[in-house]
């Protein structure tokens, strides 16, 4: 999707102290730039186009909201967010004027300019850039070793290459083309497509003649392939009868060689060393363990683990990786939804050379010669002199990234899901559907209101559908917009919201957000307790996940579990809970530590959505669907069979099941041209 905002070749607007980059959706002041979210971007386009004349609310609705029905409060909040963005860049400036009964007007005069002053600008982060921390032993010999390794990293790299123009579609098949890689010459591109039977196939695209050839049969489920630097081999994961193995494929002869077993719980990511003899891949043992990076010699089959997060680490692990020709392994380690640790390691030994915390979620890494490129969900950056410089903004999620000598290829996915309801008769009805993500349905206790998260205005927001069917923005999520966990109070007057390790309460109907517990408590999963006078939450601040009871009246806390707890609910004075590392539903009293296993066939993946209502447990069983279990009679019944596109977000009220379903995923491969500066 390309924005056609103006026919003019001048792509930048200067007003006051601010410069607006219309192509890359950046607002800049001096040496600092901020990206504009889609709604802010559309608002600013409307104000700029008015040429100093008033812009009415009807005009804003028609252009920025595409004619959808929106409340005055939604417009006010959107304008307020744009004002706050401008104030961050120019605190003394007055840019948007409110005209009572008329609308809004952009006050400064607007000038068209051909190029931005200063070129690439660093992204403004929420906190100062931390100092680099080097792994330097005391011994002089080790210090010298690290210094030698440090010179392998371009601490003062050449001026980054530049992206030229907009992304051009490279593929347009039905479905999605994902997990891309290219050879070093840029003549072949490898990717995955899903066959009609649901299996993934490995495809080779010869860029010189534009041919697309399937390398694996549709009868075989193949995934996470990576093309060797010379384009003659590929490594991929092959799945057969609940087993996973990494295999080496000779592309010319199609001969396969077994390399090693892999775990079914892993979404693998594989990168080749430029010498073509070794691969690096991420893997985890199960869903409760972090990803780690491994090295495998494709000639000998020798495997070794290169990264090992600290015992106190409880995140997703090492998610992104890339190997440079100089032997530097770049790794992106998850810290929080919007925070990552960028590690540089010796690719041979795994020894740490340097690291830096960044205020983005690193999803992909790639080297272009000595220049590192990285991406979060939709943005592509250069990493230059320990700063992030913006390179490109995609309209959709960047799923994978590959770089050749003169181009960047990336696969993008359209993110969309809807909320459905199954009633007592089994009839399915769409309840919430937009062109974006609608997730995390939470039906109120009276069944009259449905809270949910949505990205229909660009980033995650908390919305509400009331008894009349009206959908409205209830609250902007605190901090950087991202996924959050929700829980209704018994009287439906508040919604608990756990996000970024902190706990908040959102009051209804005004949507006021109040902080209950700060991020130092490391809050994860939350549920109301004791008639809304307390909150049960999980935290790993003690070194492992345990459940705590927080009394809202006294402000005191009580640790409820000693042997592990992740999601807990109270019923008849008993705590029913799950564990982070172990399947099963457990029960204990609040006065002793005697724990009993209630339901063994209760997957630990249920932590987010399971419900306990008057002695009835609703939960999800992988590959089967949503079940009901009666604690008294021990009877169990399947309520909703898993279907294609089913997402494990659900909420149940009486006989109605609200759940999330994705349409068939669509996505294409795009090409960005590069120019060496």
- Rg, the chain, Cα only: 26
Place of tokens 């694996």: 216
Place of tokens 């090409």: 671
Predicted pLDDT of residue 68: 60
Predicted pLDDT of residue 119: 46
pLDDT, tens digit, 9 for 90 and up, residues 320-356: 999 999 999 999 999 988 899 999 999 999 999 999 9
Sheet holding 428-432, edge to edge: 428-432, 418-422, 656-661, 646-653
CA distance 654 to 495: 20
Tokens of 613: 């209502």
Alpha helices in 90-215 (DSSP H): 140-150
Place of tokens 């069917």: 469
235 close to 247: Cβ distance less than 8 angstroms: yes
Question: CB within 8 A of 497, min separation 6: which ones?
Answer: 462, 477, 478, 484, 485, 486, 503, 504, 505, 506, 513
43 close to 82: Cβ distance less than 8 angstroms: yes
Burial class (CB in 10 A: 0-12, 13-18, 19+), 486: buried
635 close to 617: Cβ distance less than 8 angstroms: no
CA distance 85 to 571: 46
CA distance 462 to 438: 10
CA distance 565 to 552: 21
534 close to 527: Cβ distance less than 8 angstroms: no
Tokens of 600: 């063994």
Place of tokens 């002199």: 385
Question: CB within 8 A of 587, min separation 6: which ones?
Answer: 574, 575, 576, 577, 595, 596, 598
CA distance 195 to 211: 18
Burial class (CB in 10 A: 0-12, 13-18, 19+), 61: middle
Predicted pLDDT of residue 70: 60
Provide the phi-psi class of 459: left if phi over 0, else alpha when psi is between -120 and 50, else beta.
Answer: beta
Place of tokens 């907009």: 166
Predicted pLDDT of residue 431: 96
147 close to 354: Cβ distance less than 8 angstroms: no
**What are the structural domains, with CATH classification, of the chain?**
12-113 (1.10.10.10), 163-412+665-675 (2.130.10.10), 418-661 (2.120.10.30)
* Cβ-based neighbour number of residue 512 at 10 Å: 12
Predicted pLDDT of residue 5: 34
CA distance to 310, 327, 383, 434, per residue, from 353 (Å): 17, 12, 16, 46
30 close to 18: Cβ distance less than 8 angstroms: no
Tell me phi and psi for residue 292, to 5 degrees.
-130, 160
* Cβ-based neighbour number of residue 5 at 10 Å: 15
The residue length of the chain stands at 677
Tell me if residue 144 falls in helix, strand or coil.
helix
Which among 477, 497, 480, 501 has a CA at the least distance from the CA of 488?
497
39 close to 80: Cβ distance less than 8 angstroms: no
Which among 339, 342, 317 has a CA at the least distance from the CA of 331?
342
Q: List the beta bridge partners of residue 53.
A: none
CA distance 530 to 517: 18
Q: pLDDT below 50 — which residues of the chain?
A: 1-9, 117-159
Predicted pLDDT of residue 66: 64
């Amino acid at each position: 999707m390309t924005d056609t905002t103006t026919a003019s070749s001048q792509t930048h607007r200067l007003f006051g102290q601010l410069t607006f980059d219309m192509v890359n959706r950046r607002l800049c002041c001096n040496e600092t730039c901020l990206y504009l979210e889609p709604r802010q971007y559309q608002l600013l386009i409307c104000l700029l186009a008015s040429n100093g004349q008033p812009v009415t609310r009807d005009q804003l609705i028609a252009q920025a909201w595409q004619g959808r029905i929106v409340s005055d409060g939604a417009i006010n909040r959107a304008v307020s967010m744009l004002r706050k963005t401008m104030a961050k860049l120019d605190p003394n400036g007055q840019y948007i004027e409110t005209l009572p009964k008329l609308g809004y007007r952009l006050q400064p005069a607007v000038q068209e300019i051909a190029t931005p002053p200063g070129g690439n600008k660093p992204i403004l982060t929420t906190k100062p850039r931390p100092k680099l921390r080097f792994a330097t032993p005391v011994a002089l010999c080790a210090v010298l070793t690290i210094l030698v390794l440090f010179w392998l990293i371009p601490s003062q790299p050449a001026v980054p290459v530049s992206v030229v123009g907009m992304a051009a579609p490279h593929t347009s098949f039905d479905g999605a083309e994902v997990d891309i890689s290219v050879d070093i010459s840029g003549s072949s591109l490898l990717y995955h497509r899903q066959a009609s039977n649901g299996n993934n196939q490995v495809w080779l695209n010869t860029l010189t003649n534009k041919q697309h050839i399937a390398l694996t049969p549709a009868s075989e489920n193949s995934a996470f392939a990576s093309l060797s630097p010379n384009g003659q081999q590929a490594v991929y994961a092959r799945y057969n009868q609940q087993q996973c193995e990494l295999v080496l494929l000779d592309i010319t002869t199609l001969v396969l060689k077994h390399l090693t077993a892999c775990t079914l719980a892993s979404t693998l990511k594989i990168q080749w060393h430029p010498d073509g003899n070794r691969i690096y891949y991420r893997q985890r043992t199960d869903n409760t363990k972090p990803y780690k990076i491994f090295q495998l010699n494709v000639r000998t089959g020798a495997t070794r683990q290169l990264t090992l997060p600290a015992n106190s680490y409880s995140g997703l692990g090492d998610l992104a990786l890339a190997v440079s020709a100089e032997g530097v392994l770049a790794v992106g380690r998850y810290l929080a939804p919007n925070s990552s640790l960028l590690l540089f390691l010796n690719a041979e030994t795994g020894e740490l050379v340097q690291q830096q915390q960044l205020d983005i979620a690193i999803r992909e890494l790639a080297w272009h010669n000595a220049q590192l490129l990285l991406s979060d969900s939709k943005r592509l950056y250069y990493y230059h002199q320990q700063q992030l410089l913006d390179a490109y903004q995609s309209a959709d999620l960047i799923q994978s990234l590959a770089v050749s000598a003169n181009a960047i290829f990336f696969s993008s996915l359209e993110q969309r899901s809807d909320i459905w309801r199954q009633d007592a008769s089994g009839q399915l009805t769409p309840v919430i559907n937009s062109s974006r993500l609608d997730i995390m349905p939470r039906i109120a206790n009276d069944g009259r209101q449905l809270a949910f998260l949505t990205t229909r205005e660009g980033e995650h927001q908390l919305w509400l559908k009331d008894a009349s069917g009206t959908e409205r923005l209830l609250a902007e999520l605190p901090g950087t917009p991202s996924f959050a966990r929700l829980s209704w109070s018994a009287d439906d007057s508040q919604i608990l919201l756990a996000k970024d390790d902190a706990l908040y309460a959102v009051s209804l109907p005004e949507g006021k957000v109040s902080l209950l517990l700060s991020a130092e408590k490391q809050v994860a999963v939350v549920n109301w307790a004791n008639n809304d006078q307390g909150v049960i939450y999980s935290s790993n601040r003690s070194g492992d996940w345990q459940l705590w009871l927080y009394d809202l009246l006294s402000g005191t806390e009580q640790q409820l579990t000693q042997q592990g707890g992740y999601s807990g609910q109270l019923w008849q004075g008993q705590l029913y809970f799950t564990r982070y590392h172990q399947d099963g539903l457990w029960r204990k009293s609040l006065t002793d530590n005697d724990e009993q296993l209630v339901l063994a066939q209760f997957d630990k993946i249920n932590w987010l959505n399971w419900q306990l209502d008057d002695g009835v447990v609703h939960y999800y069983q992988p590959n089967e669907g949503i079940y009901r279990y009666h604690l008294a009679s021990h009877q169990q019944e399947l309520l909703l069979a898993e279907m294609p596109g089913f997402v494990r977000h659900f909420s149940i009220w009486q006989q109605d099941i609200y759940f999330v379903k994705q349409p068939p995923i669509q996505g294409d491969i795009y090409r960005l041209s590069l120019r060496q500066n």
